[in-house]
Amino acid sequence: MVRQVRVGVFIPTFAGGDGAHHDCPYYDQVDWAATRDYVLSVEQLGFNSLWIADHFMLGKENAMLEGWTSLAYLAALTKKLVLGSFVMCNSYRNPALLAKMAATFDIISGGRLCLGLGAGWHEPEYKAYGYHFPPPPERIAALRETTTILKELWQKDSVDFHGKFYQLNGAVCNPKPIQKPHPPIMIGAWGKKMLRLTAEVADSWSIADDPSPAVFQDKFSIIKKRCDEIGRNPAEIERTWSGHVILESDPHLLKLKLAELKDKIMMNSDKKGNYFQLPSGEMTKVDADYLIEQSIHGTPNECTLKLRKLTEAGVDHFILFFWDYPSKRVMNLFASQVMPNLT
């Protein structure tokens, strides 16, 4: 039986790169028309999923469109794409409200929601918007309660819940989502505690950046060990890798593009801070060489081989950032010369 590998695309809703983010260094100003046009191409090219970040202030001049609102519009614009949050910050919404929002979204999209969730990390954003920023153990514990509340509201007639962080008294979520038993929950996890939580409550796991198959397998081994402890089949959990793609057919052009990209990253970081976040959550000084190394870069054949190594390590689903956004050139090249060779 041929294993089907899915490929999704991350859509930047924030402008350019800054000291913390370098996802779209050629995107200088938020442009909804360009976003809409790009998304239509994602579906036409045969990608499987579409993802939007859940933040309020990122990128150049902190210009950013709200993710859930954007995703709802794109649900009406598309027909086949799975639509997901990458990933939604648990602290920003009451989980009962989130359950209602997600159920409605699943209905209006025809059952195409994947709800990506995370414990939250961007402290300046918390403070700017007046959210309390608890220590990591507390944020993780709150996320655990949220997953319980979501599933109960999606499946039960009425829910009472009395946890440490959230209280529900006869809460109802009708009508129910289309997907049964509920829309899939994807958790973005790198650290051991989040990986163990993923094993216990998630339908999908996402790991970001580091393209090493050994790192991927090492992190998933923590999930597998916890699954074994609780009697869960780890094969029930979809395994997702997300990262950047730098692709050129001509090796000489690739070399020039990498040099140009490094210069642009450092120029952006010099203008607005010189730190960015590692997958572990640690903040470190910007190193353009490191950021390039964490990407999938090369010719179509080279990129295909790198992605195949990840599929051999167990990746089921890729969520890719194309660094030339909003240009479609690299995405088109990937769709024609790489994506057909991944299965």
pLDDT 10s digits, 227-254: 999 999 999 999 999 999 999 999 999 9
Looking at residue 150, what is its pLDDT? Answer: 98
Looking only at the bridges linking them, the beta strands covering 275-277 and 283-285 are antiparallel
> Of 187, 156, 190, 193, nearest to 171 (Cα)?
156
pLDDT digits (tens, 9 = 90+) for 163-182: 999 999 999 999 999 999 99
Q: Kindly state the percentage of the chain with pLDDT values over 70.
A: 92
DSSP type of residue 177: P
β-bridge partners, 88: 117
Burial grade of 22 (CB within 10 A; 0-12, 13-18, 19 or more): buried
- State in Å, rounded, how far the first CA of the chain is from the last one: 11
CA distances 141 to 19, 125, 135, 138, 145, Å, are: 29, 20, 10, 5, 7
- pLDDT of 269 strictly over 80: no
pLDDT at 25: 85
Domain parsing of the chain, residue ranges: 6-341
**Per-residue model confidence (pLDDT) at position 331:** 98
Residue 194 near residue 230, CB atoms below 8 Å: no
112 close to 84: Cβ distance less than 8 angstroms: no
Superfamily of domain 6-341: Luciferase-like domain (3.20.20.30)
16 pLDDT band (50/70/90 cuts)?
Answer: confident
171 to 84, 95, 229: CA distances (angstroms)? 25, 11, 32
User: Which residues does 160 contact at the CB level (< 8 Å), separation at least 6?
Assistant: 168, 169, 170, 171
Write down the pLDDT at residue 277.
54
pLDDT at 292 (0 to 100): 85
- Token representation of residue 53: 């970040």
Does residue 281 have a pLDDT over 60? no
**pLDDT in the model for residue 61:** 85
Q: For 106-161, how does the pLDDT look when each residue is reduced to its tens digit (9 = 90+)?
A: 999 999 999 999 999 989 999 999 999 999 999 999 999 999 999 999 999 999 99
Contact assessment for residue 220 and residue 192, using Cβ atoms and an 8 Å cutoff: no
pLDDT tens, 215-226? 999 999 999 999
Amino acid identity for residue 260 in this structure: E
Q: So what's the pLDDT on residue 1? A: 46
With 0-12 / 13-18 / 19 or more C-beta atoms within 10 angstroms meaning exposed / middle / buried, residue 195 is: buried
85 DSSP β-pair partners: 52
For tokens 């198959």, the residue is 213
pLDDT tops 80 at residue 190: yes
> Structure pTM?
0.92
Is there a contact between 154 and 95 (Cβ–Cβ < 8 Å)?
Answer: no
Chain segment 318-330, per-residue pLDDT in tens? 999 999 999 999 9
